[in-house]
Every structure is written in structure tokens, then in C-alpha cells.
């Protein structure tokens, strides 16, 4: 492809709407453009790269024995009523009517359609196991689409669905898929980990998320490098700090401490020159059962996911400032656990229960209280683990240290069992002629998200830097002075030769300065450049420059140059 005839609308400046580096780069390099919030067009460069990524996914799915199909993006709402998920998805499910007044929706996922499809077309155990997959659009009407393709409304996913006769069969199908995911993400060069997850709206008995470690990931996980324990931060647990009880018979009474204008733990601990670990913070929440007070150590965060489970509530939000004032009889920032009005539950973390004395808010403006003793100065309703794991906490399994890392979720695999096949009554006749429901699994990969994650993780200060197998082009021929007939004819010849030998080559034939052209080729992330300039003519040497390492190789003849390019073009990851 000639650069001059291709469509690469690159930008000179970083676009303002983008936060993530990958999002900025995709816009700057002319890979994608936003049409409307969370709805993107893939431009030719991005599309070419996306198709290569899809084909690698396809290869791994096919190797695992899955069969590709394509299901409709527009789906009758009736199917969603059958499974009951029209309610679960709420406003994320975009609904509309056709001209005959029938209800439809845009597919947020495909469990209903595939279960219906297989239910109507597979009749006997002899046709099982069966794993089908597609790479297709989905639409979820996200409240806050952001970060480019990472959290878009319209997005591309690979979904595979397995159908088995029993749980043993499902285990085997699941194992195969997990293996395929491992191969795939290794090929793409990611540092990743599977973690056990909540199954969320998709449901089922067991699921694992494939998390890629990235500084800018939105999700956090805790990992123990010693024993391999890993969990999402929402559900991760650690050994708390449970000190031995003090031996002294002295029982100090609650003592007020003046803390003028000091509200946050940081401010108060700085002012009193006492560690945050000696404080207990009291946070007031509102829920459908009433107000809840929760306490954790001053240097910790409350894990709202755990708190919700312990309190057995569905809705949990920080109480409004006015409510906090009524409950504590003090302005926000001075809450303590005693004398609270109109509180339904007081839930304290295990660490709070375990230590004898704490500094808390005094429920009075500009005062905190020292020597607050659980059980004596206030009574809690529940003691439980409601703290969020911190970097450096002790692992509950092995007493190693836990690390908290940011991750991007790129895949999610589920054992659905009979969740969908039973509500939709989809099944087969077994060996004895008895009707059975399919035992199902489902396996997703965020394709657009994986694409952006590659850019996020591997880009450098010069721009996008994709693995060779996913780059829009493998090599570019950059003619530094296209007005020079000699240079032009050599560059033309190399371009033609490479095209003929099936190499995906970009020919930068634009009449621009050498500096601009070299920069652009790095920005859009072509793994190799053949640079043709005066030096090529004078010294009769061909220069091959590797994007990732910046290394240059020189060749006396074209055969050797082509052989090297051929060799590099077959690499899955990066040229090292």
C-alpha cells in the first residue's frame, strides 16, 4: 500500500478527550475515530490491525475445536423475557420497536440466542459436545463510556459457547478453552493471570477472569508472589493485624482531644503526630434497610462489596452530608461509633474488635476521642472482614506478602451449567431417550479492549508499537527523497518485490521531509523500516531499522534484506 493513497488521518497534538495513553495514540495515529460517546469507527489502519488480531483469536479457537458462526446483533426482546435478563440488564439493554410494534433490543451478549439456536437444532447426545463461537458486535448503553475502546457502548467481542451432556463434559470443554486463552495471550506477549471471579449478570456456578497486569488498568487485584493466591480486590482477603491484648490493669477512659479543623485521618494523624493505624474511622452509609455505620482502621479503606454482603443489602451509598450531621450531631469528619442516632446496624472490621483502644471521631465539631474501647464504649452488631486488602498485607494462606496490582480484564470464562438451558428449556435426548438440559459454558474476550491493551502496554515515547503479527503493516519502505529519480526507482523496486513476495508492506512515497516521515512511521507503529536515501546510493547499502529496539542492520544485496524481512515477518511477538 502506498502511504500517499492510503487513509491515515494522523493528528499532531494529543486529543483533549483522551486520558489513557493508548486512547491518545489510537486517535493521533489515525487508528480510530469517535462518532458519538462510546461509539467508534475503526479507520483503515486500525481496522487492518484489528482483523489480524481477530485472525489470531480465530486460529486459537479453531485449534481448540470451536466452530465459528454469526448471530444477529438485533434480537427479539421476547428471548430476553424468557431468561428474565431483560430486567437484570436494565437500561444497559437498548430496546426499540420495529414497524409492526414488536419489541427488539441490541445484543449486549448472546447467551439467549445461542441457547435458543442450539436448543432448536440439536436433538441427541450424539451431536454433543459442541462449541460454537463468533466475533461480533455488542451494545451496552453504558452510563459513563470512557477510555476509548476500553469501556465503549458498542464493542467487539469473541464469544464461545460450549454444550455438553454433563458436568464432566463441561469441565473438559472449559479446560480446552482455558488452554486456548493461555496460548493466545502468551502469543500476544501479555503478562496475565486468571483469577476467580463473581459471575455477575452472566451467572453460573464458576468463573474466572483473565487479567492483564497494567499500571493503568481500571481493575485491581491482590496477588501473593509466594503461594500464588490471587483475587480481585473486591473479594481479596488478608490476615488482619490482631495484636495481643495489653497486660496492664489500667483501663483508661475515653478522653477528648482537640483537633481544630482537622477532619480527615491524614490531617488528624499529622496534627496529633500519631500513626493512622491507631485511628478507627467511622463511615455512615445509607441502604434500603436504613443507615449503616461501618468501621475500619484509619489507614484502611472499607470494602463496600464485602460490606454489602455482610449487611445483606443491595443498595449501599455514602450517606448525605445532612444525614451524617443528624446521625452524629456533628459536621462531617468527626463521626465516632458511640451515641449514633437512627442507625440500623454498626458493622466493625475484625481488626477493630481485636485491638483494645482506638482514636475515633468525638461526634463533636473539632474534637476526636482517644481510648475508645469496642464493647465498652460502643456495641457493634456485627464483626467481620470488611476491609480492603492493602499492598504489603499478609497472605492468609501462606503468610507471604500480598501485592496489589492494576489490571485490565480482557477475558472471562464461565461454567454456566444449566442456567440458561433450564429457563429456556433447551436440551437433548440422552442415551436412554430421556430429556436433559444442555450443560453449558461461555467464554468471552473483549477484542477491541485487547486491541487497545496491546497499544496501552507496548507503546513507547515514539508511538504505537504492536507485536509483528498484529501490526497493520509488517514493514515500511521510506524513501527519504522521493524527488530523486535514483532513490525513487530503488524504493519502487523494493516495494514491488516485497508486494510480490506477499509481505504486508507500506510504501511511504509522500513528498514530505525525512524527519516527518520517520516520525509518522514510528507513531503508527510499523515494526521495521527500510530507509532509502542518498546513503543507499553512495554506499550501496540497504538500511533496515527495527522499531522496537531501534537497532539498524545494513545489507549489501536485496536478497539478504528480503530474507531477513521474511524471517521477521513470521514472528508472533516483537523483534528482539
* Helix boundaries (H) for 459-549: 485-500, 514-523, 534-539
Q: How far is the CB of 399 from Zn ion (least distance, A)?
A: 7
Closer of 211 and 565 to Zn ion (Cβ): 211
Closer of 228 and 290 to Zn ion (Cβ): 228
Q: How far is the CB of 195 from Zn ion (least distance, A)?
A: 14
Window 520-549: contact mask with Zn ion (x via CB under 5 A) = ------------------------------
Find the part of the chain contacting Zn ion (CB under 5 A) among 91-99, 223-231, 447-455, 457-465: 223-231
Q: How far is the CB of 229 from Zn ion (least distance, A)?
A: 5
193 is a contact residue toward Zn ion (CB under 5 A): no
- Do 444 and 157 meet the contact criterion of CB atoms below 8 Å apart? yes
Alpha-carbon distance 485 to 487, whole Å? 6
**Radius of gyration for the alpha carbons in the chain, expressed in angstroms and rounded:** 30
Closer of 395 and 440 to Zn ion (Cβ): 395
Going by C-alpha positions, the residue among 342, 312, 311 that lies closest to residue 324 is: 342
DSSP state for residue 277 in the 8-state scheme: G
Q: How far is the CB of 222 from Zn ion (least distance, A)?
A: 10
Closer of 128 and 236 to Zn ion (Cβ): 236
Find the part of the chain contacting Zn ion (CB under 5 A) among 2-10, 220-228, 276-284, 364-372: 220-228
Closer of 135 and 389 to Zn ion (Cβ): 389
Q: How far is the CB of 189 from Zn ion (least distance, A)?
A: 27
Alpha-carbon distance 515 to 480, whole Å? 9
Site for Zn ion in 380-439 (CB under 5 A): 395, 397-398, 400
What would the grid cell of residue 298 be?
484509619
What would the grid cell of residue 253 be?
477512659
Find the part of the chain contacting Zn ion (CB under 5 A) among 216-224, 296-304, 354-362, 405-413: 216-224
Q: How far is the CB of 220 from Zn ion (least distance, A)?
A: 17
Pick one of 4, 62, 124, 226: the residue that binds Zn ion (CB under 5 A): 226
| Longest alpha-carbon distance in the chain | 97
- Do 272 and 255 meet the contact criterion of CB atoms below 8 Å apart? no
DSSP string, 186-244: HHTT--EEEEE---TTT--SEEEEEEEE-TT-SEEEEEETTT--EEETTT---B---PP
Q: How far is the CB of 185 from Zn ion (least distance, A)?
A: 24
Q: How far is the CB of 279 from Zn ion (least distance, A)?
A: 28
Question: Rounded to whole angstroms, what are the CA distances from 462 to 510, 521, 522?
Answer: 20, 9, 6
Pick one of 11, 19, 41, 227: the residue that binds Zn ion (CB under 5 A): 227
Say how many residues touch Zn ion, by CB under 5 A.
Answer: 8
- Do 359 and 273 meet the contact criterion of CB atoms below 8 Å apart? no
Q: How far is the CB of 385 from Zn ion (least distance, A)?
A: 16
Going by C-alpha positions, the residue among 247, 177, 56 that lies closest to residue 443 is: 177
Closer of 40 and 229 to Zn ion (Cβ): 229
Residues in the chain: 576
Q: How far is the CB of 223 from Zn ion (least distance, A)?
A: 9
224 is a contact residue toward Zn ion (CB under 5 A): yes
What would the grid cell of residue 224 be?
501473593
Pick one of 3, 161, 174, 229: the residue that binds Zn ion (CB under 5 A): 229
495 is a contact residue toward Zn ion (CB under 5 A): no
Alpha carbon 257 to its chain centroid, in Å, reads 45
Alpha-carbon distance 332 to 318, whole Å? 12
Closer of 230 and 259 to Zn ion (Cβ): 230
Closer of 227 and 379 to Zn ion (Cβ): 227
What would the grid cell of residue 97 be?
420497536
- Do 56 and 187 meet the contact criterion of CB atoms below 8 Å apart? yes
Q: How far is the CB of 397 from Zn ion (least distance, A)?
A: 4
What would the grid cell of residue 341 be?
442516632
Find the part of the chain contacting Zn ion (CB under 5 A) among 42-50, 79-87, 225-233, 252-260: 225-233
Closer of 124 and 226 to Zn ion (Cβ): 226
What would the grid cell of residue 118 be?
442450539
What would the grid cell of residue 158 be?
469473541
Closer of 226 and 264 to Zn ion (Cβ): 226
Q: What are phi and psi of 529, to 5 degrees?
A: -125, 135
Binding positions for Zn ion, rule: CB under 5 A: 224, 226-227, 229, 395, 397-398, 400
Amino acid at each position: 500500500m502506498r502511504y500517499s493513497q492510503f487513509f491515515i488521518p494522523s493528528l499532531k497534538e494529543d486529543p483533549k478527550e483522551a486520558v489513557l495513553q493508548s486512547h491518545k495514540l489510537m486517535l493521533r495515529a489515525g487508528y480510530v475515530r469517535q462518532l458519538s460517546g462510546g461509539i467508534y469507527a475503526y479507520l483503515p489502519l486500525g481496522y487492518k490491525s484489528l482483523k489480524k488480531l481477530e485472525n489470531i483469536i480465530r486460529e486459537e479457537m479453531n485449534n481448540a475445536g470451536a466452530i465459528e458462526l454469526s448471530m444477529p446483533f438485533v434480537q427479539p426482546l421476547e428471548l430476553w423475557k424468557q431468561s428474565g435478563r431483560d430486567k437484570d440488564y436494565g437500561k444497559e439493554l437498548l430496546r426499540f420497536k420495529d414497524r409492526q410494534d414488536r419489541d427488539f433490543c441490541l445484543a449486549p451478549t448472546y447467551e439467549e440466542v445461542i441457547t435458543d439456536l442450539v436448543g432448536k437444532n440439536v436433538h441427541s447426545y450424539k451431536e454433543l459436545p459442541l462449541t460454537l463461537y463468533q466475533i461480533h458486535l455488542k451494545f451496552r448503553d453504558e452510563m459513563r463510556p470512557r477510555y476509548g475502546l476500553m469501556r465503549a457502548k458498542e464493542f467487539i467481542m469473541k464469544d464461545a459457547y460450549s454444550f455438553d451432556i454433563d458436568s464432566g463434559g463441561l469441565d473438559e470443554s472449559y479446560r480446552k478453552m482455558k488452554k486456548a486463552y493461555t496460548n493466545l495471550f502468551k502469543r500476544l506477549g501479555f503478562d496475565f493471570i486468571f483469577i476467580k471471579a463473581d459471575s455477575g449478570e452472566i451467572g453460573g456456578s464458576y468463573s474466572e477472569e483473565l487479567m492483564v497486569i497494567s499500571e493503568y488498568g481500571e481493575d485491581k487485584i491482590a496477588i501473593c508472589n509466594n503461594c500464588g493466591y490471587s483475587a480481585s480486590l473486591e473479594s481479596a482477603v488478608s490476615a488482619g493485624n490482631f495484636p495481643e491484648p495489653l497486660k496492664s490493669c489500667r483501663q483508661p477512659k475515653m478522653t477528648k482531644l482537640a483537633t481544630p479543623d482537622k477532619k480527615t485521618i491524614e490531617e488528624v494523624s499529622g496534627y496529633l503526630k500519631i500513626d493512622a493505624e491507631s485511628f478507627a474511622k467511622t463511615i455512615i452509609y445509607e441502604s434500603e434497610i436504613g443507615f449503616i455505620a461501618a468501621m475500619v482502621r484509619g489507614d484502611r479503606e472499607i470494602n463496600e462489596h464485602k460490606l454489602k454482603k455482610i449487611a445483606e443489602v443491595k443498595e449501599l451509598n455514602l450517606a448525605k452530608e445532612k444525614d451524617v450531621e443528624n446521625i452524629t450531631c456533628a459536621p462531617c469528619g468527626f463521626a465516632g461509633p458511640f451515641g449514633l442516632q437512627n442507625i440500623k446496624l454498626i458493622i466493625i472490621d475484625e481488626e477493630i474488635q481485636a485491638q483494645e483502644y482506638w482514636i475515633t471521631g468525638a461526634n463533636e465539631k473539632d474534637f476526636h476521642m482517644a481510648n475508645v474501647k469496642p464493647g465498652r464504649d460502643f456495641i457493634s452488631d456485627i464483626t467481620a472482614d470488611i476491609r480492603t486488602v492493602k499492598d504489603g498485607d499478609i497472605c492468609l494462606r501462606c503468610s507471604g506478602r500480598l501485592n496489589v496490582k492494576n489490571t485490565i480484564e480482557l477475558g472471562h470464562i464461565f461454567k454456566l451449567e444449566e442456567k440458561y438451558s433450564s429457563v429456556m428449556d433447551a436440551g437433548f435426548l440422552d442415551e436412554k431417550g430421556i430429556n436433559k438440559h444442555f450443560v453449558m459454558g461461555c467464554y468471552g474476550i473483549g477484542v477491541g479492549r485487547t486491541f487497545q491493551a496491546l497499544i496501552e502496554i507496548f507503546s513507547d515515547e515514539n508511538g504505537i508499537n504492536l507485536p509483528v503479527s498484529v501490526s497493520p503493516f509488517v514493514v515500511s519502505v521510506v524513501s527519504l527523497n522521493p524527488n530523486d529519480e535514483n532513490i525513487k526507482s530503488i524504493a519502487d523496486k523494493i516495494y514491488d518485490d516485497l508486494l510480490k513476495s506477499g509481505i504486508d508492506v507500506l510504501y511511504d512515497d509522500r513528498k514530505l521531509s525525512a524527519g516527518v516521515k520517520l516520525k509518522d512511521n514510528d507513531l503508527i507503529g510499523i515494526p521495521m523500516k527500510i530507509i532509502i536515501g542518498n546513503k543507499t546510493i553512495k554506499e550501496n547499502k540497504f538500511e533496515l531499522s527495527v522499531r522496537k529496539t531501534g537497532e539498524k542492520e545494513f545489507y549489501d544485496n536485496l536478497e539478504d534484506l528480503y530474507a531477513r524481512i521474511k524471517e521477521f515477518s513470521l514472528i508472533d511477538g516483537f523483534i528482539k
